[in-house]
A and B are shown apart, each in its own frame.
Chain A
């Protein structure tokens, strides 16, 4: 049973560029959440997708956008990259129903902005 998979594992970009990160959820899961984790910090919630719609969003600018496909996989897009966007980007999947949703994480994409 494949867990959450993310690609690529590492990425180097320059300021002003755009980047797309990809995530395939754990088998049977229909909800994908994205997090940004700076070095030495806990993950910060970016947004969540369910039924191809953005269901909730954290305190991130509109430069961060996403998409969910019919097969539940998801993309995170970041435009006009800043040095401060350098971080580990984590994708987590869960089941959309129920009161408490345990989220299972992928290994992340390490983004470096130069």
Chain B
């Protein structure tokens, strides 16, 4: 069964303290891996799509990487406005449609 596990569940950092969030996945074959950001009371906001192992993408202080079993979201010198829940999701090969399987997310809190 396709599965996505994120760790840690919650992470508190000081402003400027860099860290990484982990997303482990089990799928029969990966079509794409997605990272979303979700603020309280809002819908997920798309950040990145990764397609194959070794791929990396960057946006401001965020950098996403992908291996055959996991993805990391690296956050460099975070600011309080980076506080949010970060969701990882996968789309498996063989899916006849765009079904996306989400992890439970990592709640990131950045203290000023």
Q: Which residues of A contact B (CB under 8 A)?
A: 4, 31, 33, 35, 40-45, 48, 50, 55-56, 58, 90, 92, 94, 96, 99-108, 110
Contacts and interface: CB of A to CB of B under 8 A. Distances in A.
A45 B97 CA distance: 12
B109 to A, nearest CB: 14
Contact of A106 (B31, B43, B98): B43
Contacts of A45: 99-101
Interface stretch (B11-19, B44-52, B57-65, B69-77): B44-52
24 contacts: A4-B43, A33-B100, A35-B102, A42-B105, A45-B99, A45-B101, A48-B99, A50-B97, A55-B97, A56-B95, A56-B96, A90-B44, A99-B32, A100-B49, A101-B98, A102-B34, A102-B49, A103-B34, A103-B98, A104-B46, A105-B44, A105-B45, A105-B46, A107-B42
A42 B98 contact: no
B99 A42 contact: no
Contacts of A42: 4, 6, 87, 89, 102-105
